[in-house]
Amino acid sequence: MARAWAYIATRRRGGAPSVVPHTADTGGVHYLSGIWRSLACTDAFHVTAAPAYAARRRRIALIGDLNLPQCRKYRVEQLTEFWRLHDVDLYYAHYQDVPRAVQILQDATHLMCYRLPGGGDVPMLLYEARRLRLPILYDIDDPLFSVSAYETYANMAVLKADAQKHFAAEAPRYLEVMNGCDAVSVSTPGLVDHAQLYTPRPVFLRRNFADHVTLQAGRQAMQVSTDNEAVFRVAFASGSRGHEADFAQIEAELSAFLRADPNRRLMILGHFEQGHLPRAIARQTEWHRFSGYDAYLRVLAQADCALMPLVDDPFNRCKSAVRAIDAAAVGVPAICSAVGDLAHVVRHEQTGFVAQTASDWGGVLRDLARDPGAARAMGTRARHDLERRWSAQIAPHIADPELLDWVLA
């Protein structure tokens, strides 16, 4: 019953079911076992010669957990554009969609596993990739493999005890698959350092970026946004549960800022437990559920600035700057913590602000509210900087050249 209520609450908050909710039980390795046995009996099981990579166009089969919309966008879908720049094809499948996952493996030259834990059909898919002699890359954008990161993660404190135990218990399953691959790619320098504590495999950096779809959707959202000089809106977006601890970092400064003027608004986008919001600012708060990326950008474009606080802990030091990318896509300046990869995207006092102390948040907000025109100009600079420095054009600060060499060699 507890799980049923948790599921209902998730759906009411806008959470979607699995991208393949009706996949039939394949019985683990039984999906391919008949084919394997037949191939083995006819002496055709092993690929005896190395695949002729030099004569073939590279083709990546990406099999991963596609249930989280933001992760799916930044670590899966936009890779099609990323690899096309180097004449590499990419096809992807949800790991529970076993028929498609097996199908895309057959013509692949490489396998990429995204955010996969051990168990279920995953060992079967890895076994098939090894049978086909495919190099395997593991990609991840959070330290889901790290018990140490979870146990020092401030945002875990707002979750129930059973959820905290669940995440820690799942960490070895992610590490099992990660260490069963040939190489690892991650989204931030901080995550590179942390992953190297857990794996002897080479770890490559491939940062998140703004693909053509993001830039186009942001441009359209900016065109439909409406300026209202009388109201100054501040956005706080949360793509998953538990970011109330991050919000608490700025709660006092933000509350004082809002209470100082009734024409100031806080926009909360996505997941947030309303019980953690101070009552004093409840009437000045607008709530928006996530309902698709384009709709999210349209709401975000109504803000005058976006807040991105992070508690300084090992988990958050691995965080990417996707929220800053989203804000810049719609011409909204970001105020962020100097934690994770945010300061690499937000250029202090040019495209946004990097807050070093708690008092910085209130001071920056007051300055922006006094001159909304300057805030819009800063947002415009953020958009131009995103197009110039963080688009899909591959550069050393977005992707390690060694990662490209690993695929193209």
- What pLDDT is recorded for position 284? 93
Give pLDDT tens digits for 262-296: 999 999 998 888 877 888 898 999 999 877 889 99
Q: Mind listing the pLDDT tens digit for each residue in 165-213? A: 889 999 999 999 999 999 999 999 999 999 999 999 999 999 999 999 9
What percent of the chain is predicted at pLDDT more than 90? 70
- DSSP readout, 368-409? HHH-HHHHHHHHHHHHHHHHHHSBSS--TTTB-HHHHHHHH-
Q: What is the pLDDT of residues 141-175, one digit of tens each?
A: 999 999 999 999 988 877 778 888 889 999 999 99
CA angle 254, 255, 260 (to 5 degrees): 100
Contact status, residue 257 vs residue 304, Cβ threshold 8 Å: no
Q: What is the pLDDT of residue 229?
A: 67
Average pLDDT over residues 3-11: 63
Per the structure block, which two tokens stand in for 227?
Answer: 């300026």
Confidence band of 1 (pLDDT split at 50, 70, 90): confident
pLDDT greater than 70 at residue 227: no
CB atoms within 10 A of CB 294: 13
One-letter amino acid of 392 = A
Q: How confident is the model at residue 118 (pLDDT cuts 50, 70, 90)?
A: very high
Both tokens of 215, joined, read 């830039």
Helix axes 212-224, 293-300, angle to 10 degrees: 50
Q: What is the spatial distance between Cα 97 and Cα 70, in angstroms, rounded to a whole number?
A: 20
Closest CA to 106 of 41, 54, 61: 61
Q: Is 229 exposed, middle or buried, given 0-12, 13-18 or 19+ CB atoms closer than 10 A?
A: exposed
Token pair 């097996």 is found at 102
pLDDT value of position 355? 96
Token pair, residue 10, equals 């998730």
Q: Is the pTM of this model over 0.75?
A: yes
Alpha carbon of residue 268 to chain centroid? 19
Residue 14 has a pLDDT of: 52
List strands edge to edge, sheet with 110-114: 89-94, 59-64, 110-114, 136-140, 183-186, 203-205
Percent of residues, the chain, with pLDDT higher than 70:
89
Spatial neighbors of 50 by CB under 8 A, at least 6 apart, are 133
For the residues 346-355, what does the mean pLDDT come to?
97
**φ and ψ at 10, to 5 degrees?**
-65, -45
Mean pLDDT for all residues in the chain: 89
pLDDT in tens, 304-348: 999 999 999 999 999 999 999 999 999 999 999 999 999 999 999
Mean pLDDT of 370-398: 91
